[in-house]
Amino acid sequence: MTTRTETQKGDRIEQGTPVTVHRYTAAARINHWITAISLVLLALSGLALFHPSLYFLTGLFGGGPLARIIHPFIGVVLMLSFLGLFARFWKLNLWTRTDNIWLGRVKDVLAAQEGSLPEVGKYNAGQKLVFWSMSILIVLLFVSGIVIWQQYFSAYFTIDQRRIAVLSHSVLAIVAICVWIVHVYAAIWVRGTVGAMTRGKVTGGWAWRHHRRWLKELAKRKPEADPTSSTPAE
């Protein structure tokens, strides 16, 4: 029976003071930020069209007509970008028994008592829940968005189908915004996480504390890009 790997190409340990661990490649970071920016722009333009009290947000897009035109095209960008992220990370987000234990001790997570938590790989259960939630939500938002994109697809759907799609799209968007807020809050709360997605690196201490199984697997692996590196210190 083979054990599923918790590492990716580009993940490596770099000796130094402190020890540095390469967590995300430049391509992965660019992919992530295109997805994140697209999601923010969609949220702002969508909220602007959702309720009259938020219509002032259309000013960010050049007015109401332009916001309505631009919104679905940004949705296409989001879908394509997220497909890239999904292809990169879905295997590392598959659920394991360890994730059930981690969730069962979520009080310790919130209390920052990580000593009682099981060792996790590159992603913990919370991160995996965000990943799969956004995967489902983005696909459903894209499908419902196609139904209500009247400029190109009005002839393919009935009025009743478009009404259902509008309602579904609005509800799904609110849920997606809530999941995104949780994701951002968690990234800020766990110090060092934002730096991982901007610089691509974390300290060895950060990796040991939050993703110990991933770090241990990296330590056993032969170096990829730095032939002079050896088994890292903690």
Tokens of 71: 């919104």
- Tell me how far apart the alpha carbons of residues 227 and 221 are, in angstroms, rounded to a whole number: 12
Among 32, 71, 169, 183, which one carries the catalytic annotation?
A: 183
Report how many helices (DSSP H) and strands (DSSP E) the chain contains, helices first.
10, 3
Upper half-sphere CA count for residue 55 (Cβ side, 13 Å): 6
- Tell me how far apart the alpha carbons of residues 169 and 176 are, in angstroms, rounded to a whole number: 10
Cis peptide before 227 (omega within 30 of 0): no
Say whether 183 is catalytic.
yes
Run of H or E including 80: helix 64-89
2: Cβ contacts below 8 Å, ≥ 6 apart? none
Upper half-sphere CA count for residue 121 (Cβ side, 13 Å): 20
> From the CA atom positions of the chain, what is the Rg in Å?
21
Among positive and negative, which fits the CA dihedral 100, 212, 116, 114? negative
Closest by Cα among 133, 139, 115 to 210: 115
Catalytic residues, by residue number, are 183
